[in-house]
Structure 1
Amino acid sequence: MRSIPTGRQLRLGIELRKLRERAGLTAAAASQLLGVKPNQISNMEAGRAGVSPERVRTLARHYKCNNPALVDALSEMTADRKRGWWEEYRETLPAALLDLAEVEHHATHLRASVTVHIPGLLQTTDHARELFRQVVPEFSPPDIEHRVSFRVKRQVVLFRDEPTPYLAIIHEAALRMRFGGTPVVKGQLRHLLDMSERDHITLKVLPFAAGSFPGSGQSIFYSRGPVPQLDTVHLDQSHGPVFLDAEAQLEMYQVLLDRMESRALTPERSRDVISGLLSDL
């Protein structure tokens, strides 16, 4: 029995519960079909108990799920039992940050929109360090370095053999912020230009001239799963990341991101804006 399930284990349980509820079955009824005690269904749906791929498929049959792609994806979630690199930070960082790294690691496509900050996956170490120095209450120097190293390791999804496709919509305001002084700003802008040249990365600037736009008051990060039902929205809050996965929420944030992207500059013009800002420093 797990004492603290990971975000991925919790998500698997949530999706199994959704399937059961759509089938109109109680946990007690599901346990009878499976031949287990009722609390075992509850523990599986809460992420406290492990589930085998075979059991997922059995439950799906009982729940009359006619979505083979979803069943395959859920079965794959149970088969992935390796401890990710983020586990080494379990004693030093909040669990929500580890869940974020896990979501990014398994995403098939990443999409972000930010207004004030550079997306974490595109930050330089100097830029990230400066941001962590401004946190209230203050982090100790070791805590700052833990978080910087964690943020850099998250970026491996953009550098592995099969990198995750990534679309970043960055408002001009974020590009003009002077976090850390001129040398840090120059390094960050150069890094954005370098990253924007990679085939799997699309960087689009939302200029001041675009005026008002939906979702302007928040940073939105969208991780696409192997099937739409397993997509995840991550909102960056001052107290830590918040994860959303309800169907209506996913749909709303997809619409917001679509509208932002439609108002952003092309990748070519976006690079021109960043280059212009860099030359002005």
Structure 2
Amino acid sequence: MSEITPPPTRRQPPTVRLRRLAAELRHLRQEAGLAQIEVTEKTDLNLATLYRIETAKTKPQLRTLNALLDLYGVTGNRRADLVLLQKEARQRGWLNSFDADLPDQYNALISLEAEAQQAINYESLFIPGLLQTEDYVRAMIRGVRPAATDKEIENRVTARMQRQTLLEGETPLQLWAILDQAALCRTVGSTAIMREQLAHLARQAQRPHITVQVIPFSAGAHPGMPGSFIVLKYNADDPDVIYIDSMAGDLFLEKETDIRRYNQMCEHLRAIALSPVDTTALLASLREDH
């Protein structure tokens, strides 16, 4: 009797927590100035396992994680955060509360955005972060976080500007930005800042990998009014991730029902928004108003 070969098991897609852990470990290795082969020489890990850990294809065992953190000299709260990520790596959905001690370059959104192939960003009150000018960012942060120190503000400005490098290079992030007209009409900083912001938005909208659409006031009530969100899209094997910036912290949604609901919302918002050509005309008109 011949043996029956079981069907191959389907790889479980990485969760937000596992993706974040993988990105953190890559950054730590790079900060330490070590190549992957050097890490394998200093630990019991083989190269294939290290590659799978750093690409979120496998969850590191706790002893493996501790060995890597020892090698990279990670201690204190940062180490505790990474160990917690390892323990919860299989859980889906995540509310990541803001931690002032965590460097901005390790912000979960930045890590996940850097791995994405496409982002659909809907904004109801702000210019999309990847399309903001530096002056707009600075004025916006001062207004939203009145208790922030100058250093905290500048750290956030720097992080926002670094995020925008995803739109450069040979394989830039494909960005589809949809925004309510209210975001264009609110004067952030000054009329001069808004004039330059609107001009910058119009210039960016002409780039082949960036699409900008505005939902005009005349569209009336629409599904995006409850709040802003970003849909991050990866390759065919990895599901989308929904990001929502809330007052409680960074909220990430991974359930199929949530992904389906937000993608349907994106289609509806695209349909009621002005075309890219009409959006450019509206931007020019509003720039004259400022």
Alpha-carbon shift at residue 161 of structure 1 (Å): 2.0
Structure 1 position 199 matched with structure 2 position 208:
yes
- Whichever residue aligns with residue 201 of structure 1, its letter is I
RMSD: 3.3
Q: Is the 8 A contact 2:18 2:56 kept in 1?
A: no
Change (3 A) 1:97 1:126: farther
Q: 3-state SS of the aligned residue for 2:184?
A: helix
Change (3 A) 1:51 1:147: farther
**Match of residue 10 from structure 1:** 18
Aligned pairs (5 A) from 1:58-73:
none
**Match of residue 132 from structure 1:** 141
Alpha-carbon shift at residue 12 of structure 1 (Å): 8.2
**Match of residue 164 from structure 2:** 155
Alpha-carbon shift at residue 274 of structure 1 (Å): 0.5
Alpha-carbon shift at residue 76 of structure 1 (Å): 9.1
**Match of residue 251 from structure 1:** 260
Task: Tell me the distance in 1 between the aligned counterparts of 2:230 and 2:167.
Answer: 15
Deviation digits for residues 115-166 of structure 1, max 9, x if unmatched? 1111111111111101111234611001100000000000111112211111
Structure 1 position 75 matched with structure 2 position 57:
yes
Alpha-carbon shift at residue 105 of structure 1 (Å): 0.6
Task: Tell me the distance in 2 between the aligned counterparts of 1:232 and 1:119.
Answer: 17
Of 100, 117, 130, which residue of structure 2 is paired with 1:121? 130
- Whichever residue aligns with residue 279 of structure 1, its letter is E
- Whichever residue aligns with residue 57 of structure 2, its letter is S
Structure 1 position 237 matched with structure 2 position 246:
yes
Alpha-carbon shift at residue 177 of structure 1 (Å): 0.7
Task: Tell me the distance in 2 between the aligned counterparts of 1:150 and 1:189.
Answer: 21
Structure 1 position 106 matched with structure 2 position 124:
no
Aligned pairs (5 A) from 1:28-47:
none
**Match of residue 184 from structure 1:** 193
User: Which consecutive residues of structure 2, in runs of 5 or more, have no partner in the other structure?
Assistant: 1-14, 22-44, 61-67, 73-77, 79-98
More helix by share: 1
Task: Tell me the distance in 2 between the aligned counterparts of 1:51 and 1:157.
Answer: 31
Change (3 A) 1:77 1:109: farther
- Whichever residue aligns with residue 277 of structure 2, its letter is E
* Larger RCO of the pair (alpha carbons < 8 Å, separation 6+): 2
- Whichever residue aligns with residue 119 of structure 1, its letter is P
Larger displacement relative to structure 2 (163-172 or 223-232): 223-232
Alpha-carbon shift at residue 75 of structure 1 (Å): 3.4
Task: Tell me the distance in 2 between the aligned counterparts of 1:255 and 1:218.
Answer: 15
TM-score when normalising by structure 1: 0.68
- Whichever residue aligns with residue 123 of structure 1, its letter is Q
**Match of residue 37 from structure 2:** none
- Whichever residue aligns with residue 195 of structure 1, its letter is Q
Task: Tell me the distance in 2 between the aligned counterparts of 1:224 and 1:51.
Answer: 30
Change (3 A) 1:248 1:92: same
Q: 3-state SS of the aligned residue for 1:75?
A: coil
Alpha-carbon shift at residue 230 of structure 1 (Å): 2.7
Change (3 A) 1:271 1:229: same
The number of residues matched between the two structures is: 217
Task: Tell me the distance in 2 between the aligned counterparts of 1:129 and 1:162.
Answer: 28
**Match of residue 275 from structure 1:** 284
Task: Tell me the distance in 1 between the aligned counterparts of 2:269 and 2:148.
Answer: 34
Structure 1 position 141 matched with structure 2 position 123:
no
- Whichever residue aligns with residue 75 of structure 1, its letter is K
Of 274, 278, 281, which residue of structure 2 is paired with 1:265? 274
TM-score when normalising by structure 2: 0.66
Larger displacement relative to structure 2 (227-236 or 245-254): 227-236
Task: Tell me the distance in 1 between the aligned counterparts of 2:195 and 2:146.
Answer: 28
Q: Is the 8 A contact 1:235 1:243 kept in 2?
A: yes
Q: 3-state SS of the aligned residue for 1:102?
A: helix
Task: Tell me the distance in 2 between the aligned counterparts of 1:202 and 1:178.
Answer: 23
Q: Is the 8 A contact 2:20 2:108 kept in 1?
A: no
Task: Tell me the distance in 1 between the aligned counterparts of 2:112 and 2:138.
Answer: 23
Task: Tell me the distance in 2 between the aligned counterparts of 1:266 and 1:76.
Answer: 42
Q: Is the 8 A contact 1:110 1:224 kept in 2?
A: yes
